[in-house]
């Protein structure tokens, strides 16, 4: 068995989150910290605000920092997180990573949704997420082309990849520079 090696101060984490649409017609659809309206927007079911984008990014941050997953830190069985703003959850996760000596370098997300059309909102999602991460974020949207539960428009999924650098390396060769 080979020894564990942290590498040159960079770590990659991945996250995924899936939520079905809520039955409550008054529940807002929140993705990447942005409230999406019109074009058939329907809120997602979940314990917090069910922001699948924030949750996927948060899991990717935690994974890269070696801190487990979102359910370990903010379980959906804890009433304290009922209705929580997922940008705040992400902010707390970034603080946990920072306390462990890691800072975000960048994030890349892909949202899978048949509806609503998300392209008009991805720029705002990038801005909101980048403000919390303190690093560039890219958000893309795609469709499942009618395949499976996502293709039948039963919910929304998001995948995310996050690169973290040791806090002392961020300004150097580990992807530093202006943000």
Written as tens digits, the pLDDT of the chain (179 aa) is: 444 555 569 999 999 999 999 999 999 999 999 999 988 899 999 999 999 999 999 999 999 999 999 999 999 899 999 999 999 999 999 999 999 999 999 999 999 999 999 999 999 999 999 999 999 999 999 999 999 999 999 999 999 999 999 998 655 444 444 33
Other CB atoms closer than 10 Å to residue 77's CB: what's the count? 7
Estimate to the nearest angstrom the gap between the alpha carbon of 63 and the chain centroid.
12
Q: What is the pLDDT of residue 175?
A: 43
Q: What is the pLDDT of residue 84?
A: 94
- Do the Cβ atoms of 107 and 162 come closer than 8 Å? yes
Q: What is the pLDDT of residue 174?
A: 43
**C-alpha distances in angstroms, 36 versus 16, 94, 111, 124?**
20, 24, 13, 10
Architecture of domain 10-166: 2-Layer Sandwich (3.30)
- Within 8 A by CB and 6+ apart from 6, the residues are none
Residue showing tokens 């395949």: 147
Beta bridge partners of 16: 159
Q: What is the pLDDT of residue 40?
A: 83
């Amino acid at each position: 068995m080979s020894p564990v090696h942290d590498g040159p101060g960079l770590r990659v984490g991945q996250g995924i989150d899936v939520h079905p649409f809520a039955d409550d017609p008054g529940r807002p659809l929140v993705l990447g910290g942005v409230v999406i309206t019109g074009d058939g927007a329907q809120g997602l079911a979940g314990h917090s605000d069910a922001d699948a984008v924030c949750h996927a990014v948060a899991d990717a941050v935690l994974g890269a920092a070696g801190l487990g997953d979102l359910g370990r830190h903010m379980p959906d069985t804890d009433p304290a997180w009922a209705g929580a703003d997922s940008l705040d959850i992400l902010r707390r996760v970034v603080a946990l990573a920072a306390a462990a000596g890691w800072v975000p370098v960048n994030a890349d997300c892909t949202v899978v949704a048949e509806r609503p059309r998300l392209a008009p909102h991805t720029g705002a999602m990038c801005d909101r997420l980048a403000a919390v991460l303190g690093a560039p974020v890219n958000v893309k949207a795609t469709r499942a082309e009618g395949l499976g539960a996502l293709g039948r428009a039963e919910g929304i999924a998001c995948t995310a990849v996050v690169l973290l650098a040791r806090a002392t390396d961020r300004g150097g060769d580990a992807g530093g520079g202006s943000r």
